[in-house]
Structure formats: C-alpha cells, structure tokens
Amino acid sequence: MENSSDCDDIGNEFRAKVNGSASISQVSLGSSQKSVSLSKMGSFTPSKMSDKSSLRRNRSYGNMLASGNSEAKVLVIYTGGTIGMMRNEKNALEPIQNALVKNIRRFPHMHDVEYAQQRFGTGASMAPLVLPFVENEPRRVIYTISEYDPLLDSSNMTINDWVRIAEDIRQSYEFFDGFVVLHGTDTLSYTASALSFMLENLGKTVIITGSQIPIFETRTDGKDNFTSALIIAGNYVIPEVSVFFGSKLYRGNRTIKVSSASLDAFDTPNVPCLANVGINVEVDYRLIFRPCTVNRFCVHSHLDENVGILRLFPSITTATIRAFLQPPMRGVVLQSFGAGNIPSNREDMLQALKDASQNGMIIVNCTQCTTGSVCDLYETGRLLQDCGVISGYDMTPEAALTKLAYCLGKSEWSLEEKKKMMQRNLRGELTAGKSPEMQEFDLVDAVARSLHLSTPQELSQLGATLFPAMVNSAVKAGDLAKVELMKSYGADLSSVNYDYRTALHIAAAEGREDVVKHLLLHGVTVHVRDRHDRTPLMEAIANDHHAIIRLLIKCGAHITGSARGVGEFLCAAAARGRLERFESYRLAGADLSQPDPSGRTALHVAALHGHKKLVEYLLKNYVDKDEVDLLGLTAEDYAKRSGHEEICGILQSEHKNGMSH
C-alpha cells in the first residue's frame, strides 16, 4: 500500500486530469458533480508532435494505476433504467439525477471507504469508487461513473444515443481496462447489438447490464448484476460487447429479452453463454469472438436510420408490404415463418419483394422463431432467394436490424459488398452453416490416462495447465508449426499461464515479430496484464523490440501504469544512457518529459551523467530544457555541477535557438 503522500499525489493527478468541461456526459466523482472532458484525458502520442509548447504540457497520464497495486480501472456509463431508480417522497420509483454515486458510497458491499481513503487520501470524496475485495480475483476494481443528463428510459433510446455511448467509450478507451454500461432492459438487446458493430477492432471488455428491480431496493437483482459486471470488466479481457444478467454473461448481439418479470430476463437461444458466475467466475474462452486484424480500435458512428422490421402474418396485404418497402427505406429485416418461408402462392408478394431488391433495397430474411435458423430446405424459402432476399441465418431481429444500419452506413462499400457483409459473421452475430463441433483433446486424454485423471474437472484443469505451457514453449522457440499443432489439439492461443501471461507476452519479449503477427491475426488481445501488470507492449519496450512496438501500437496497445512510474523508468534509462530504450518509449507514445517523484526529467539525469548523445536526442524530441526539479534546478544546473561543460554548451545553444525562434 502506498503512503499518504503518494496517495495524495495520485488523487491530485486524477482530479487534475478530469478538470474541464464534458462534451457528452457528466462524470460522477462524488456527491457533488463536476463537469469533465473525457476527450481531454488523452496521453501523448507521436502524432501530437505539432509544436514545442503543446508537447511540454503533455504527460503520460494514460492510467492512474500506481506501481505495486494490483488494480483495474473500469468506466461505468450510467444511461438510466430501472437499475438506478430510487424512491421519491411518495414512495414511487423514479430516476433521480446525481443520486447514484452518492448512495453507492454509503453501501459497503459496493464501495470500500477504508481502501479509498488509504489509496487516494483522506479527502477522497472526489476520488473514484472502489469495489471491495473479491476472493480469487487478481485485481481490485476502481470505478468511475459517468452519468447522463438527462437519464434515459431505454424505450426512448435512439441511434443518437448509441452513438453517444460509443463515443464515450472511444474517448476513454486508453484510460480504462474495461467498460460497464447501465441501461434499461426494454431495448438493451438493440443497444448491445448496435455497439457490437460500431466498436470496431474492440480489444477490451464492454458489458451492458441493468436490472428488473432497482439496485437500492431490499430485494434486488441490480446489485449482483452491477458488481459482477464490474468484476468481469476489471479482471477478464473479453473483447466483445456482452450483456450480463442473472449470473450469466452473454454475447450482446445474440441476446433477446425473454421475460418482463423474471430476474433471468435475457437469453441467447442459439449459442451458449460466454461465462457463468457462481462461487467463481467461469469463462469459456473458446466461445469468445475475437477481432483477427492488425488494426487499432475505432468507432463507426454513422448508422443509417432508414431500416425496419417487417413481420409477416397470414393474409398480409400486398399494399402493406409495398408501403413498407417504399423510399426512404433502404434496408428491411423480413421476419418469415419457420425456417424462412413465405406463402408460395402469393405472386404479388414475391413481386413486391423482387421489385424492392432490384431497386437497391437490402432485404434480410430472419425467422420468427426464437431458436433455429433460416435455410433453403423448403421451396418457399428458395423463392425468396430468387427475389434477391438474402439469408439472415440465425441472427436475432435486433442484431439483423442494427447490422443493416451499420452496413448501410458504410459509404465506402458498394451495394454488393454490403450484402456480402450482411451474410458474413462480423462479430459472432450469426452461424453460417453447421457449427464446428468441439473435438476431444487427444493430447490431454493421453496425458490424463498416464496420470490416472478421469473426471471432467480434472481434464479441464489439465488442459488449462498443459496447453499454455506448450504454446508458450513453441512461441519462445519461434516454432509457428508447433503453435498451429497445439491449436489443432484444442489449445486456446489467448489463454494465460499461472502468471497471467499470454503467448503474446512471450513473443513480444523474445522479439518474435512473425509470431506476434500470427497471434494478433488469431485474435490474441494486446491488453492482457500479467501478475506484475505488464502488457505485451511493456515486454517489447523492456527488450527494445521496435518493430514489435510499432505492430502492437497499430493494434491499439498503449502504455499502462502511473505517470510517476513512467518518469522513474525514463530516469533509470537516462542514468545508463540507454538511447534505444528512449526510442522504444517514444514509439510507444510516452511523454519523454515525464518527471519522476523528485521532479527530475530524463534530461536532468542525462546531463548529470554526461550522456551527450542522449541529451541531443531528448532535445530533438522536444523535452523542455527549462523544466526544474523539486529543488528548482534545471538540466543545465546538473551539467554545471557535474562538470560536463560540453553538455552545458549544448543546452545553452538550445536556449539561444529557442530565443531566436
């Protein structure tokens, strides 16, 4: 645990970073509300090298995590809904602005006051909330609540609100380990589906949750839903938009609301859940749909609102169908009977659908059934294909509708590309063809027999122990053939070993660029932190593998850890004249001017030790020569007192050049 001065420093740093005006949300940090700009919390990146003045003001505040603390930061976006409602003076439930955080601070099972005071200082009323200790979870969850004003009933949600949530996540993406969205249940599946498409190349956990009973009621499902979502978002990297409800974590774009009264209000009828929460959190990592591209996270915020759902019923008139298919409608989800059937004796209906398709409308055929998929098993289903209607396979209506809005909003795609994408599995939203069956692990079975293990629990534990060790061994040797062999046996390339290290950690540390590319293309995320809070990017920095650093940054990796910790690492590297280490940090987007706890920058230390080339490098990269430490000394003062006259001349020359400009 840090001492009080350290906690005050971190608390002040956090408060300084959130001092501004919010463009799209209110961040609730205490009983009083402060407007903050999430977009102003950005860390320094090489693309920001526009001028010296702006560079001197930047610091690597990317995370408020302090060295030595196993913590995770989660941003909670509170949009409204039943979960946050409270009793008014008439004892009726209603959303009350700015009351959620104030009340959470009074509930010891949701906020650890003692830990918060030790961590952020005695004046911690403006500090983030802290989830109490959870058995068997490696990190304490620190969470901040961003509350919308006004709070929204989910029935009133529109495309603009989906965009707002997505933009909030984008602006805060590098500063939090995971995200939880509190939402009303009525349209929760629509929001989850929409966000799954809008958040492209997602590498972090985004969980949407709500409740049937408000969180502060005596009998409630809200507390378990909320706290479980926080635990998963802070401790597990599940790079999907998911929904947590009733002890289960579901893929968001597969969910439907199945009950208005049950506490198990949601389900994914066509696929199993991603995780079960009982005494422990059990995640089935084999089911997680991972982005398999080498691209950074981004948000596609342009959705076409000219889409709709047309549900067929016996004797529906042609006039009704034609009226629905008129411009400005550009995409329609057609809910047909059974396995995708329509009346085969309705030439008028078929002609109306054919005319609309030929005029550029995308019509997606989905079944009205809760489970199952559309197919061309029957003649009536094939008739739709002949009319230009494309298959929606087993997509839910919510997923099909929001995917239509997403694809139609892609102006860079042609109409044919949009149709192809509608039938492609983009985010795990559909199963095209027969689902692959899980094969028995021959390798695990062979080892299990030799160890006399037989129960499913023993086999599962053996696989979880054996595969990461063998994959990591193959990765260290750079043997991609063996990595693929392990995958064919059933190994999850994203799994972690005892120290929570993935194969990507090993490949980054060993400098295996080809293996790093291979793992990234197989969906291994860049954001997993090991037992010592090191990411694959930190491993690449620590070993000065510049090509791998560039590759990881391209995939959305960023520096984690406290600003103070970055300053300490930079000063330590400066003392040894490690020029290549500074290039590593620069490529990773660090601010090379970041001071250590004594106020010294790397330039101070380089001047003190007489590292001329490093001094020149730092000045070239806009490190401020006039920065003073806690004693009021500049880098030039350090050079003078240590007798490095040549460095004094370089610093004085830089000063003259700066004055002339």
For residue 308, the SS3 value is strand
Instruction: Give yes or no for a contact between 568 and 594, defined as CB atoms under 8 angstroms apart.
Output: no
d(CA 587, CA 621): 12
d(CA 362, CA 346): 21
Q: Catalytic: 465?
A: no
Closest listed residue to residue 101, CA positions, set 64, 129, 130: 129
For residue 241, the SS3 value is strand
- Crossing angle of helices 563-575/579-587, nearest 10°? 150
For residue 603, the SS3 value is helix
The structure tokens listed for 424 are: 């492609």
What does the DSSP assignment read for 129-155?
A: EEPPP-TT-SSEEEEEEEE-SS---GG
Asked if residue 328 has a cis previous peptide bond (ω within 30° of 0), the answer is: yes
Measured CA to CA in angstroms, residue 434 lies from 287, 372, 437 at distances of 15, 12, 9
DSSP 337: B
For residue 324, the SS3 value is helix
Q: Which of 82, 144, 367, 380 is catalytic?
A: 82
- Three-point CA angle 224, 128, 45, nearest 5°: 115
- Crossing angle of helices 379-386/347-358, nearest 10°? 40
The structure tokens listed for 426 are: 């983009």
What sign results for the dihedral spanned by CA atoms 180, 256, 415, 159?
A: negative
d(CA 196, CA 291): 11
Instruction: Give yes or no for a contact between 181 and 206, defined as CB atoms under 8 angstroms apart.
Output: yes
For residue 577, the SS3 value is coil
Instruction: Mark residue 148 as left, alpha or beta (left: phi above 0; alpha: psi -120 to 50; beta: remaining).
Output: beta
Please list the active-site residues: 82
